[in-house]
Amino acid sequence: MTLTGNNTDTVPVVQTSYGPVRGTIDGPVAVWKGIRFAAAPTGGRRFQAPVAPEPWTDIFEANRFGPVCPQSPMPGMPLGVDIQKHEDCLSLNVWSPGSLDKPKPVMVWIHGGAYFRGASSQPLYDGRSLAENGDVVVVTMNYRLGVLGFVDFSSLNTEEHRFDPNVALQDMIAALRWVRDNITAFGGDPDSVTLFGESAGGGAVTTLMTMPSARGLFHRAIAESSPATSVYNSERAAHVANTFLEILGGADDPVERLLTATSDELLTASDALFARIPSETPGTLAFGPIVDGELVPDYPVNAFWNGTAMRIPLLIGTNKDESSLFQIMKSPLMPVDPAVIRAMFDEIAAEHPDLELPDQARIESAYSGLATKSDAMGLTRDFGFRLPTLWIVEAHSQYAPTWLYRFDYATPMLKALKIGATHATELPYVFGNIAHGPKEITYKLGGLSTGRKVSARMQQRWLAFAKYAVPVGLDGEPQWDAYNRENRATLVIDKHDTVVRDLDGPLREAWGEQVIAFT
């Protein structure tokens, strides 16, 4: 039996390539949760590329989210109700509206969380609103996080055991292959897939666009707040792996230790590594994609400039006040202390002696000499998010249609808290889940009506892009032209949307016209 559309008397059962799955009905949308797309990456498969799951014959009741990758809790980031944590976490979820008479565009979401936290089960990522409002099929996925997904232990390979690089990226590719092979049965069009993600998920999107093994698996891409330059070489990967083993301790045989350590032991050491790496090398992440020469052939920014990235339509942007969240959380990921910021530049210069960095005094003067934390947050915001995004649009717009945005909208409460349009605040508007919990404080000082209008406009743009590869707006909204070096058009999303030419002119002037590619 296949999807039966809006008949709420029939629970939809779909035959996938591995076995039948039965979903549930949520209003006009059918939902399947926790569908396995790969075998459990446990035991001898820990730190290895995903493999196909064992087929099943009994109907799988796809009525609850699958386990999420082990992770420490994070205030303000609920993973969902009754969510289990387990290394056997490779599952995905599907929201599908309507009938099967015409295949619908597909939107595949990759969640963020510094490559360390997060899950597809987070209430924020419920796909019903997008599926219902846009008549699209929405897919969200889990992938391996932290040490289980983003530390490369391939330097420890032996004849007895293999450690694969970039296993989390390979998880994402396995999920995309599942979509290619199965989404037709859920009402989706496998030839019209938009991959979208935010933060680490946005970084995954821009990285996957440069990976040969991902070609043909998606046809449009949306990258929100992508840390596109947080991709590292194999030498640094080996250093991170050795540092992790030092923290983990407990055995003379590192291979045996990695394979037999409990999830809790790995998680404890991961937490320590997460804090240690950015303290030793400011501005870098403990976890992230690795340029391994095969799966990830080159630094993504280089690939975009060389024209070797997928030449597909791209919608990309950042938020106006990205760094304020990290400051409030006292996160080590984005330094705000002037001495640490200067150390970050020194570290980059030492690691990349052939790199021509802009004059540091000139840059600091553009941020008032880093006299206040606000100035420092502006510099780290631009260095970590806005500049990599600009480098990509300057490059990719030469090869494929590219649209640039900046999200500026902040509710009165977020302004009062001096948070503004910080990192991830666009997500409720994209998913249409702008009041998703009883303890939600975002609208305590008003702004819900405006927020709903912002959400409607953003959803219209994102959904139009997924359907037609052009982010057309609602009637009466400004025309958002594709980016080129003549117009440098940027959509500024606020109470009212505007299109600004060369919004980032002062930023380019401060940092110089030369594009910095991390090679």
Q: Which residues of 175-210 are buried (b: 16+ CB within 10 A; e: fewer)?
A: bbbbbbebbbbbbbbbebbbbbbbbbbbbbbbbbbb
Half-sphere CA count of 108, side-chain side, radius 13 A: 29
Catalytically annotated residue among 322, 364, 394, 426: 322
Q: How far is CA 173 from the centre of its chain?
A: 14
Strands 104-110, 137-141: pairing is parallel
CB atoms within 10 A of CB 215: 12
- The Cα–Cα gap between 270 and 151 comes to 10
Burial 373-411 (b: 16+ CB within 10 A, else e): ebbbbbbbbbbbbbbbbbbbbbbbbebbbbbbbbbbbbb
Q: Which two tokens stand for residue 136?
A: 């699209």
Q: CB under 8 Å to 317, separation ≥6 — which residues?
A: 224, 225, 389, 404, 405, 406, 407, 490, 491
Write out the two tokens for 177. 């292959």
Catalytic residue among 91, 120, 129, 199: 199
Report how far residue 168's alpha carbon sits from residue 187's, in angstroms, rounded to the nearest whole number: 27
Q: Is the dihedral of CA 35, 41, 42, 43 positive or negative?
A: positive
Assess whether 322 carries a catalytic annotation.
yes
- What distance in Å separates the CA atoms of residue 30 and residue 49, rounded to the nearest whole number? 31
Question: Quick check: is 199 catalytic?
Answer: yes
Residue with token string 């089960």: 121
Q: CB neighbours of 406 closer than 8 A, spacing ≥ 6?
A: 317, 318, 319, 320, 490, 491, 492, 493, 503
Does residue 20 contact residue 14 with C-beta atoms inside 8 Å?
yes
Distance of CA 32 to the CA centre of its chain: 22
3-state secondary structure of 274: helix
How far is 284 from 296, CA to CA, in rounded Å?
18
Q: Give me the residue label for tokens 């950015």.
A: 278
Give the three-class secondary structure for 362. helix
Residues 399, 419: Cα–Cα separation, whole Å: 36
Options 226, 423, 426, 455, the catalytic residue: 423
Q: Which residues are catalytic?
A: 199, 322, 423
